[in-house]
Amino acid sequence: MTFLKINVLSYLEASAARVPDRVCWADAASALTYREAWTAVCEMGAALSARLSAVNMPVCVLLRHDVTDLLAFFSIVYSGNFYVPIDPALPAVRLRSMLETLCPAAILTAGNDIDAGLTKDIPVISQQALRAEAPIPSAAAPWKQRKDTDLLYVIFTSGSTGEPKGVSICHRSVIDMVEQFMHAFAFADGTVWGNQAPFDFDVSVKDIYSSIMTGAQLVLIPKEYFSTPPRLLDYLCDKKVTNLTWAVSALTLVSALKGLNYRVPESVKRVMFSGEAMPPKQLRIWQEKLPEAKFVNLYGPTEITCNCTYFPIERQYEDSEKIPAG
């Protein structure tokens, strides 16, 4: 499959035309086909564009980690702007710093709240209101006028090595990275991506854009399921997830709590991990339970759009060994 795009929204548009009835995004409570997702994005994006007086501006999204987040992201792209995922549960001082740095054109919410004292002079727009307005999308939609060097999103770093900073990523950076990702791993047409990473963490970028580029299904896993491994594993099995691109901490939580003794998600064909060094002991548990699956160690900082190296795991490693980063 050849990808020659300028704006990431072209991938969603193309997949909606090619596999309109395939599930695009699913969470624990709902699902949207590609046709439904594309229609909603166009309608919400047109409504948002009518409300905003500028393009190439940051628009924040209060995260819920469900399908509404993805609708918000792509609606913002449709409007010719770029999105900034915001966890409303962060401390107020952190949120204030982020908003002061951004000076966003608006904040989108799907029902979750943020302290009104933090949002003075910033319009807070309900996604439900955008869906209700639903103007007819124009053939000259704002997203079609944008360049590949225009910003797609800003993700703030954790601040573990100093003051948190907003990392700006353009369309071309994501297109180049994910197209190479697709080339390196040749994901099957029927791949079902099991998304663990929060949307304000760059690991999620591979899930979001790899799936829409290939017309695959993206299954969002509720955060609370990771505190109850049986519930998590039942969900993976029921959704027939085939690819896990998870943080090391999420994988080791499952194996350390002996979740794989309860149930093995046998549909999983590839397990990719990053974020920190994988303990060989925990990796061996996954390898023994999924002997036919491929395992890959990924590495890369947020600033270079997720990953720059990878290492396929071809054997089991002893506790005294370190798994290469590629």
Tell me the per-residue pLDDT of 63-93, one tens digit each, with 9 for 90 and over.
Answer: 999 999 999 999 999 999 999 999 999 999 9
Model pLDDT, residue 1? 46
Q: How many of the other CB atoms lie within 10 Å of CB of 209?
A: 23
Model pLDDT, residue 4? 59
Model pLDDT, residue 160? 64
List, in order, residues 6 or more apart from 113 with CB less than 8 Å away: 62, 88
| Cα–Cα distance for residue pair 277/54, rounded to 1 Å | 43
Model pLDDT, residue 326? 86
Model pLDDT, residue 19? 97
Model pLDDT, residue 162? 65
Stated pTM of the model? 0.94
Q: Count CA within 13 A, CB hemisphere, residue 299.
A: 12
The one-letter amino acid code at 19 reads: V
What residues in the chain have per-residue pLDDT under 70? 1-4, 139, 159-162
DSSP bridge pairs for 33: 23
